[in-house]
Chains A and B, each alone.
Chain A
Amino acid sequence: MSAPEQTPGGSYAPALETPRSPYRRSRSTHTNWELYGWLFMRMSGVVLIVLVFGHLFVNLMTGEGIHQVNWGFVAGKWSSPFWQVWDLLMLWLAQLHGANGVRTIINDYAERDGTRFWLKMALYLASAIVIVVGTLVIFTFDPCADPSQTFDFCRPAIDNVPTVTSPNS
Protein backbone atom coordinates (compact mmCIF):
# COMPACT_ATOMS: atom_id res chain seq x y z
CA MET A 1 0.00 0.00 0.00
CA SER A 2 1.53 3.26 -1.03
CA ALA A 3 -0.61 5.75 0.85
CA PRO A 4 0.20 5.87 4.55
CA GLU A 5 -2.36 4.35 6.87
CA GLN A 6 -4.77 6.90 8.20
CA THR A 7 -4.57 7.72 11.86
CA PRO A 8 -7.81 8.05 13.83
CA GLY A 9 -8.84 11.62 13.47
CA GLY A 10 -8.43 11.75 9.70
CA SER A 11 -5.48 12.79 7.62
CA TYR A 12 -2.90 15.05 9.09
CA ALA A 13 -1.55 18.04 7.26
CA PRO A 14 1.65 17.29 5.33
CA ALA A 15 4.76 17.82 7.42
CA LEU A 16 5.98 20.71 5.29
CA GLU A 17 3.38 23.15 4.11
CA THR A 18 4.24 26.07 1.96
CA PRO A 19 4.89 28.89 4.43
CA ARG A 20 1.79 30.95 5.03
CA SER A 21 -0.27 28.83 2.70
CA PRO A 22 -3.92 29.61 3.37
CA TYR A 23 -5.51 27.40 5.98
CA ARG A 24 -8.28 25.36 4.42
CA ARG A 25 -11.02 24.82 6.89
CA SER A 26 -12.78 22.01 5.11
CA ARG A 27 -11.42 19.26 2.93
CA SER A 28 -14.19 17.74 0.94
CA THR A 29 -11.99 14.92 -0.31
CA HIS A 30 -11.75 12.82 2.80
CA THR A 31 -14.26 11.04 4.99
CA ASN A 32 -14.16 10.42 8.70
CA TRP A 33 -14.87 6.71 8.62
CA GLU A 34 -11.78 5.73 10.60
CA LEU A 35 -12.74 8.25 13.27
CA TYR A 36 -16.28 6.88 13.48
CA GLY A 37 -14.87 3.35 13.76
CA TRP A 38 -12.54 4.46 16.54
CA LEU A 39 -15.46 6.04 18.42
CA PHE A 40 -17.66 3.00 17.83
CA MET A 41 -15.02 0.70 19.37
CA ARG A 42 -15.16 2.76 22.55
CA MET A 43 -18.92 3.23 22.78
CA SER A 44 -19.74 -0.39 21.96
CA GLY A 45 -17.07 -1.48 24.44
CA VAL A 46 -18.73 0.37 27.30
CA VAL A 47 -22.14 -1.15 26.50
CA LEU A 48 -20.64 -4.63 25.98
CA ILE A 49 -19.21 -4.65 29.49
CA VAL A 50 -22.76 -4.62 30.88
CA LEU A 51 -24.17 -7.04 28.30
CA VAL A 52 -21.38 -9.64 28.33
CA PHE A 53 -20.75 -9.55 32.10
CA GLY A 54 -24.50 -9.91 32.70
CA HIS A 55 -24.65 -12.80 30.21
CA LEU A 56 -21.75 -14.62 31.84
CA PHE A 57 -23.10 -14.04 35.33
CA VAL A 58 -26.61 -15.31 34.63
CA ASN A 59 -25.43 -18.32 32.61
CA LEU A 60 -22.42 -19.41 34.68
CA MET A 61 -22.88 -18.11 38.24
CA THR A 62 -26.59 -18.41 39.02
CA GLY A 63 -28.40 -21.69 39.69
CA GLU A 64 -26.28 -24.66 38.77
CA GLY A 65 -23.98 -22.64 36.54
CA ILE A 66 -23.01 -24.31 33.29
CA HIS A 67 -25.00 -27.42 34.24
CA GLN A 68 -28.30 -25.54 34.15
CA VAL A 69 -27.85 -24.64 30.48
CA ASN A 70 -30.07 -26.66 28.18
CA TRP A 71 -32.90 -26.13 25.73
CA GLY A 72 -35.43 -25.41 28.48
CA PHE A 73 -33.10 -22.81 30.02
CA VAL A 74 -32.84 -20.98 26.70
CA ALA A 75 -36.62 -21.27 26.19
CA GLY A 76 -37.14 -19.71 29.61
CA LYS A 77 -34.91 -16.76 28.74
CA TRP A 78 -36.11 -16.19 25.20
CA SER A 79 -39.78 -16.30 26.17
CA SER A 80 -39.10 -12.85 27.61
CA PRO A 81 -38.55 -9.80 25.39
CA PHE A 82 -36.01 -8.57 27.94
CA TRP A 83 -33.50 -11.30 27.18
CA GLN A 84 -34.35 -11.26 23.48
CA VAL A 85 -33.41 -7.59 23.25
CA TRP A 86 -30.37 -8.16 25.51
CA ASP A 87 -29.04 -10.95 23.31
CA LEU A 88 -29.86 -9.13 20.08
CA LEU A 89 -27.91 -6.04 21.18
CA MET A 90 -25.05 -8.19 22.45
CA LEU A 91 -24.93 -10.12 19.18
CA TRP A 92 -24.77 -7.05 16.95
CA LEU A 93 -22.42 -4.99 19.11
CA ALA A 94 -19.99 -7.84 19.85
CA GLN A 95 -19.85 -8.98 16.23
CA LEU A 96 -19.40 -5.47 14.79
CA HIS A 97 -16.85 -4.53 17.48
CA GLY A 98 -14.93 -7.78 17.00
CA ALA A 99 -15.02 -7.53 13.19
CA ASN A 100 -13.77 -3.96 13.24
CA GLY A 101 -10.99 -4.98 15.63
CA VAL A 102 -9.94 -7.92 13.45
CA ARG A 103 -10.01 -5.61 10.40
CA THR A 104 -7.40 -3.42 12.11
CA ILE A 105 -5.30 -6.47 12.82
CA ILE A 106 -5.50 -7.67 9.20
CA ASN A 107 -4.38 -4.20 8.09
CA ASP A 108 -1.42 -4.48 10.45
CA TYR A 109 -0.14 -7.94 9.55
CA ALA A 110 -1.23 -8.78 5.98
CA GLU A 111 1.25 -6.87 3.89
CA ARG A 112 0.29 -8.00 0.39
CA ASP A 113 -2.67 -6.19 -1.16
CA GLY A 114 -4.24 -9.42 -2.39
CA THR A 115 -3.92 -11.21 0.93
CA ARG A 116 -5.37 -8.25 2.75
CA PHE A 117 -8.30 -8.02 0.36
CA TRP A 118 -9.26 -11.69 0.62
CA LEU A 119 -8.82 -11.87 4.38
CA LYS A 120 -11.17 -8.92 4.73
CA MET A 121 -13.69 -10.47 2.37
CA ALA A 122 -13.65 -13.65 4.49
CA LEU A 123 -14.05 -11.52 7.62
CA TYR A 124 -17.04 -9.61 6.22
CA LEU A 125 -18.68 -12.81 4.98
CA ALA A 126 -18.24 -14.57 8.33
CA SER A 127 -19.56 -11.51 10.19
CA ALA A 128 -22.62 -11.26 7.95
CA ILE A 129 -23.39 -14.95 8.48
CA VAL A 130 -23.10 -14.64 12.27
CA ILE A 131 -25.33 -11.55 12.43
CA VAL A 132 -27.99 -12.94 10.09
CA VAL A 133 -28.09 -16.42 11.65
CA GLY A 134 -27.98 -15.08 15.22
CA THR A 135 -30.76 -12.56 14.56
CA LEU A 136 -32.98 -15.12 12.84
CA VAL A 137 -32.49 -17.57 15.70
CA ILE A 138 -33.66 -15.04 18.29
CA PHE A 139 -36.71 -14.00 16.26
CA THR A 140 -37.85 -17.42 15.04
CA PHE A 141 -37.25 -19.35 18.26
CA ASP A 142 -40.42 -20.95 19.66
CA PRO A 143 -40.16 -21.65 23.40
CA CYS A 144 -43.18 -23.95 23.16
CA ALA A 145 -41.73 -26.13 20.39
CA ASP A 146 -40.79 -28.94 22.79
CA PRO A 147 -43.93 -30.88 23.70
CA SER A 148 -42.31 -32.29 26.85
CA GLN A 149 -41.64 -28.96 28.54
CA THR A 150 -44.02 -27.52 31.10
CA PHE A 151 -44.05 -23.72 30.88
CA ASP A 152 -47.27 -22.12 32.01
CA PHE A 153 -47.33 -19.76 29.07
CA CYS A 154 -47.31 -22.70 26.65
CA ARG A 155 -50.52 -24.26 27.94
CA PRO A 156 -53.50 -23.76 25.66
CA ALA A 157 -55.58 -20.80 26.79
CA ILE A 158 -58.59 -23.02 27.48
CA ASP A 159 -56.77 -24.46 30.50
CA ASN A 160 -56.73 -21.08 32.12
CA VAL A 161 -60.51 -20.68 32.14
CA PRO A 162 -61.59 -20.85 35.78
CA THR A 163 -63.59 -24.00 36.44
CA VAL A 164 -66.89 -23.86 38.24
CA THR A 165 -67.11 -26.42 40.99
CA SER A 166 -70.46 -27.86 41.65
CA PRO A 167 -71.82 -27.22 45.15
CA ASN A 168 -72.44 -30.93 45.68
CA SER A 169 -68.94 -32.19 45.24
Chain B
Amino acid sequence: MATSLTPPGQGTPVGKLKPAGTLYRGREGMWSWVMHRITGVAIFFFLFVHVLDTATVRVSPEVYDGVIAQYKNPVMGLGEAGLVGAVVFHALNGIRIILVDFWSGGTKHQRKLFWGVVALWTVLMVPFLIRHLTIVFTH
Protein backbone atom coordinates (compact mmCIF):
# COMPACT_ATOMS: atom_id res chain seq x y z
CA MET B 1 0.00 0.00 0.00
CA ALA B 2 1.36 3.38 -0.92
CA THR B 3 0.78 5.51 2.11
CA SER B 4 1.42 9.12 2.93
CA LEU B 5 4.67 7.83 4.38
CA THR B 6 6.16 6.42 1.19
CA PRO B 7 8.77 8.97 0.13
CA PRO B 8 8.91 9.66 -3.57
CA GLY B 9 11.28 7.34 -5.41
CA GLN B 10 11.80 5.06 -2.43
CA GLY B 11 10.29 1.67 -2.93
CA THR B 12 11.35 -1.48 -1.10
CA PRO B 13 15.17 -1.67 -1.33
CA VAL B 14 16.14 -4.74 -3.37
CA GLY B 15 18.92 -7.03 -2.21
CA LYS B 16 21.96 -5.55 -0.45
CA LEU B 17 22.07 -2.53 -2.71
CA LYS B 18 20.92 0.28 -0.47
CA PRO B 19 19.79 3.23 -2.53
CA ALA B 20 22.19 5.96 -1.57
CA GLY B 21 20.88 9.28 -0.43
CA THR B 22 17.21 8.60 -0.94
CA LEU B 23 16.22 8.54 2.71
CA TYR B 24 13.96 11.52 3.13
CA ARG B 25 15.44 13.86 5.66
CA GLY B 26 13.18 16.84 5.69
CA ARG B 27 13.77 19.99 7.56
CA GLU B 28 11.46 21.88 9.91
CA GLY B 29 8.36 20.63 8.11
CA MET B 30 9.23 16.97 8.61
CA TRP B 31 10.44 17.26 12.19
CA SER B 32 7.37 19.15 13.30
CA TRP B 33 5.25 16.43 11.68
CA VAL B 34 7.17 13.62 13.40
CA MET B 35 6.94 15.38 16.76
CA HIS B 36 3.26 16.19 16.30
CA ARG B 37 2.58 12.52 15.68
CA ILE B 38 4.63 11.24 18.62
CA THR B 39 3.16 13.76 21.07
CA GLY B 40 -0.38 13.05 19.82
CA VAL B 41 -0.03 9.31 20.43
CA ALA B 42 1.61 9.86 23.83
CA ILE B 43 -1.22 12.13 24.99
CA PHE B 44 -3.74 9.61 23.68
CA PHE B 45 -2.29 6.81 25.82
CA PHE B 46 -2.02 9.10 28.84
CA LEU B 47 -5.69 10.07 28.48
CA PHE B 48 -6.72 6.40 28.52
CA VAL B 49 -4.90 5.76 31.82
CA HIS B 50 -5.96 9.15 33.19
CA VAL B 51 -9.71 8.63 32.73
CA LEU B 52 -9.46 5.20 34.35
CA ASP B 53 -7.49 6.50 37.35
CA THR B 54 -9.92 9.41 37.73
CA ALA B 55 -12.76 6.85 37.70
CA THR B 56 -11.55 5.57 41.07
CA VAL B 57 -13.20 8.66 42.67
CA ARG B 58 -16.33 6.52 42.39
CA VAL B 59 -14.77 3.68 44.40
CA SER B 60 -13.87 5.55 47.59
CA PRO B 61 -11.89 8.59 48.73
CA GLU B 62 -9.18 6.28 50.14
CA VAL B 63 -8.71 4.40 46.87
CA TYR B 64 -8.60 7.63 44.82
CA ASP B 65 -6.15 9.32 47.17
CA GLY B 66 -3.95 6.20 47.06
CA VAL B 67 -3.90 6.22 43.26
CA ILE B 68 -3.24 9.98 43.03
CA ALA B 69 -0.44 9.70 45.61
CA GLN B 70 1.50 7.89 42.87
CA TYR B 71 1.50 11.12 40.84
CA LYS B 72 3.19 13.04 43.65
CA ASN B 73 6.63 11.41 43.78
CA PRO B 74 9.56 13.16 42.05
CA VAL B 75 9.86 10.60 39.24
CA MET B 76 6.22 11.07 38.27
CA GLY B 77 6.73 14.81 38.72
CA LEU B 78 9.27 14.67 35.90
CA GLY B 79 6.83 12.58 33.88
CA GLU B 80 4.16 15.25 34.34
CA ALA B 81 6.65 17.88 33.14
CA GLY B 82 7.23 15.75 30.03
CA LEU B 83 3.49 15.33 29.50
CA VAL B 84 2.87 19.06 29.74
CA GLY B 85 5.79 19.71 27.38
CA ALA B 86 4.20 17.31 24.89
CA VAL B 87 0.73 18.85 25.25
CA VAL B 88 2.06 22.39 24.82
CA PHE B 89 4.08 21.43 21.74
CA HIS B 90 1.17 19.53 20.17
CA ALA B 91 -1.21 22.42 20.83
CA LEU B 92 1.09 25.17 19.48
CA ASN B 93 2.10 23.11 16.47
CA GLY B 94 -1.61 22.36 15.95
CA ILE B 95 -2.21 26.10 15.62
CA ARG B 96 0.65 26.21 13.11
CA ILE B 97 -0.99 23.44 11.06
CA ILE B 98 -4.31 25.28 11.16
CA LEU B 99 -2.63 28.51 10.04
CA VAL B 100 -0.87 26.75 7.18
CA ASP B 101 -4.23 25.30 6.10
CA PHE B 102 -6.44 28.35 6.43
CA TRP B 103 -4.30 31.49 6.39
CA SER B 104 -3.28 32.65 2.95
CA GLY B 105 0.28 33.46 4.10
CA GLY B 106 0.59 30.20 6.06
CA THR B 107 2.41 28.08 3.50
CA LYS B 108 4.85 30.84 2.67
CA HIS B 109 5.76 31.40 6.30
CA GLN B 110 5.52 27.81 7.57
CA ARG B 111 9.21 27.65 8.47
CA LYS B 112 9.03 30.89 10.47
CA LEU B 113 5.85 29.59 12.08
CA PHE B 114 7.73 26.50 13.25
CA TRP B 115 10.38 28.58 14.97
CA GLY B 116 7.55 30.65 16.43
CA VAL B 117 6.19 27.41 17.92
CA VAL B 118 9.59 26.60 19.42
CA ALA B 119 9.92 30.11 20.86
CA LEU B 120 6.42 30.18 22.36
CA TRP B 121 6.92 26.67 23.74
CA THR B 122 10.05 27.88 25.57
CA VAL B 123 8.29 31.00 26.87
CA LEU B 124 5.46 28.88 28.30
CA MET B 125 7.58 26.01 29.59
CA VAL B 126 10.20 27.97 31.56
CA PRO B 127 7.78 29.47 34.11
CA PHE B 128 5.77 26.25 34.19
CA LEU B 129 8.86 24.15 34.93
CA ILE B 130 10.10 26.52 37.62
CA ARG B 131 6.76 26.40 39.43
CA HIS B 132 5.98 22.71 38.92
CA LEU B 133 9.45 21.39 39.75
CA THR B 134 9.62 23.62 42.83
CA ILE B 135 6.34 22.12 44.03
CA VAL B 136 7.48 18.58 43.22
CA PHE B 137 10.93 18.76 44.80
CA THR B 138 10.42 21.02 47.80
CA HIS B 139 7.14 19.77 49.15
Contact = CB atoms under 8 A, between A and B. Distances in A.
A95 B128 CA distance: 25
Interface stretch (B18-26, B65-73, B109-117): B65-73
A34 interface: no
Nearest to B52: A133
B65 A70 contact: yes
B37 A105 contact: yes
Nearest to A87: B54
A140 B57 CA distance: 10
A14 B99 CA distance: 29
Question: What bracket does the count of chain A residues touching chain B fall in?
Answer: 35 or more
Interface in B116-139: 128, 131-132, 135-136, 139
Contacts of B30: none
Interface residue SS majority, chain A: helix
Chain B contact residues, majority secondary structure: helix
B5 A61 contact: no
B91 A48 contact: yes
Contact of A133 (B55, B61, B80): B55
Interface residues of B, number: 41
Interface string B24-49: 00000000000001001101100110
A108 interface: yes
Contacts of A148: 61
A108 B3 contact: yes
Interface of A: 1, 4-5, 42, 45-46, 48-49, 52-53, 56, 60-61, 64-67, 69-72, 74, 91, 94-95, 98-99, 101-102, 105, 107-109, 111, 126, 130, 133-134, 137, 140-141, 145-146, 148-149
24 contacts: A4-B2, A5-B1, A42-B97, A42-B98, A45-B95, A48-B91, A52-B87, A56-B84, A60-B132, A61-B131, A65-B135, A67-B139, A69-B71, A70-B65, A94-B43, A95-B51, A98-B43, A99-B44, A107-B3, A108-B5, A133-B51, A137-B55, A137-B57, A141-B58
